[in-house]
Amino acid sequence: MNGLLYFVETNAIVLGLTVLIAVRIHKSSRTSASIAFECAVICVGLFTIAGFFSELITKGVIGGTWFKAALLKGLCYFFMSLLCYAWFMYFEFERGSEIASDRNQKYYYAIPLLIEFILLWINLMCGIVYQIDENTLQVVRGPLYFLVYLFSVPYLFIGGFRSAYELIHHRNEISREHFYNIVFFPLLPFIAGIIQFFENDYLAFPAALSLSALLMYMHNTEDAVSVDPLTGLNNRRVLVHDISNRLETGSGIYKMYLCMIDVDFFKQINDTYGHVEGDKALKLVARALQKSVAGMKKRAVLARFGGDEFTVLLEVSYHNEADEIIQKMETELSDLCEKEGTPYKLTISIGKALYHASMNNNVKAWFDAADEDLYKVKEARHSARR
């Protein structure tokens, strides 16, 4: 009796947790990534419900035939694979990959789900994947039982591998931290899945899934207040906090520059080509900035300051390094525009200010100095065009 009570309580907690997370996600911003994450959480709930009633039939708590037990167990396996597919798509949406933007590729990667769905229905008639003992109602694994995991686990491996590649090549520190969470999130369910496979411990997997979903939701909530949703760069809040910390602790041997960056004639791009193209332009600028400081690691902090303005905090090790990086920002943007074939000329103006002791840790004074230099750069460019 105590075992049954523990079983019911655990499933109730898991289900309640998944419902709460799903509702909270549904009320948040409706991006493609958040929808994929919501689908994954819903699949956790459906997996839990199907597994719960399947176990109750097996334990003899509620009446049921072998067919009902087999059907519920099949739904468990299918929802597990559907969960892995939703999680895989979440990987891809977060990465902004070609799979996420190509409907045909989404269908292509969903083919294993269709095959498994058909196979599980065939299994009800011949038991090639699993069977239900008509006397004990216990699951008996068939010769093709391994397919249950073959149709689901590869989604996590492929998504994790692709995200790990992104992690290695991503230079923005906030983005790197985000991808760490994406890559390592499936580890807990994966370990629990191994335990369930060998020990047949039903509770391990759904409990691990719900706990991982909760941890990922908490991480995403934290991201929402620290990362610019359009470009993936830090937002102003993170930038100011980072600058304050560096001013308090000192930069050691490095000199610190604050660069204020403004997209030239951005309003004209929006008015002529529309806001979708305007957003694309801002993303291109963000990518160019990321590529220009690749290799500097924590010596560079990128942020979208607001609208069409960006800010870069640089710790330079020699006299001309800041000027070299600024030149590289403009070159990288030009190369990206040529590669993407943008129908407009996309350029940026950059002002910079060196931090000096007379500023006395005054962040506003430093921003004002960089902003003033930006104004001079833009005025000089406008004068040159006249």
97-111 tens-digit pLDDT: 777 777 888 889 999
In Å, what is the CA distance from 259 to each residue of 94, 183, 310, 359, 374? 28, 32, 8, 16, 8
Phi, psi of 315 (to 5 degrees): -110, 110
What's the number of domains the chain is made of?
Answer: 2
Identify whether residues 166 and 264 lie together within a single domain: no
Residue span of the structural domain in which 100 resides? 2-224
Identify whether residues 242 and 278 lie together within a single domain: yes
Tell me the residue type at 33: A
User: In this structure, is residue 229 part of a structural domain?
Assistant: no
User: In this structure, is residue 57 part of a structural domain?
Assistant: yes
Identify whether residues 13 and 116 lie together within a single domain: yes
**Crossing angle between the packed helical segments 275-292 and 321-340, to the nearest 10 degrees:** 140
Q: List, for the chain, all residue ranges whose pLDDT scores fall below the cut of 50.
A: 171-174
Identify whether residues 220 and 243 lie together within a single domain: no
Which tokens in the block code for residue 329?
A: 């920002």
The residue out of 224, 247, 277 marking a domain boundary is 224
User: What's the pLDDT at 122?
Assistant: 93
Q: How many CA atoms lie within 13 A of 383 on its CB side?
A: 6
Is 227:178 a contact under the CB 8 Å cutoff?
A: yes
Identify whether residues 65 and 212 lie together within a single domain: yes
Identify whether residues 129 and 248 lie together within a single domain: no
Which domain CATH number covers 321? 3.30.70.270
Q: Classify residue 359 by its DSSP letter.
A: G
User: In this structure, is residue 154 part of a structural domain?
Assistant: yes
Identify whether residues 125 and 149 lie together within a single domain: yes
User: In this structure, is residue 281 part of a structural domain?
Assistant: yes
The residue out of 191, 224, 257 marking a domain boundary is 224
User: In this structure, is residue 16 part of a structural domain?
Assistant: yes
Which domain CATH number covers 210? 1.20.1070.10
User: In this structure, is residue 231 part of a structural domain?
Assistant: no
Identify whether residues 33 and 173 lie together within a single domain: yes
pTM assigned to the model: 0.60
| CA dist., res. 72 & res. 83, Å (int) | 16
Identify whether residues 213 and 305 lie together within a single domain: no
The residue out of 195, 224, 253 marking a domain boundary is 224
| CA dist., res. 185 & res. 252, Å (int) | 36
User: What's the pLDDT at 351?
Assistant: 94
Identify whether residues 110 and 41 lie together within a single domain: yes
User: What's the pLDDT at 185?
Assistant: 67
User: In this structure, is residue 230 part of a structural domain?
Assistant: no
User: What's the pLDDT at 289?
Assistant: 93
User: In this structure, is residue 71 part of a structural domain?
Assistant: yes
| CA dist., res. 202 & res. 317, Å (int) | 57
Identify whether residues 205 and 287 lie together within a single domain: no
Identify whether residues 212 and 276 lie together within a single domain: no
**What torsion do the CA atoms of 13, 18, 20, 21 make, to the nearest 10 degrees?**
140
| CA dist., res. 374 & res. 377, Å (int) | 5
Tell me the residue type at 30: R
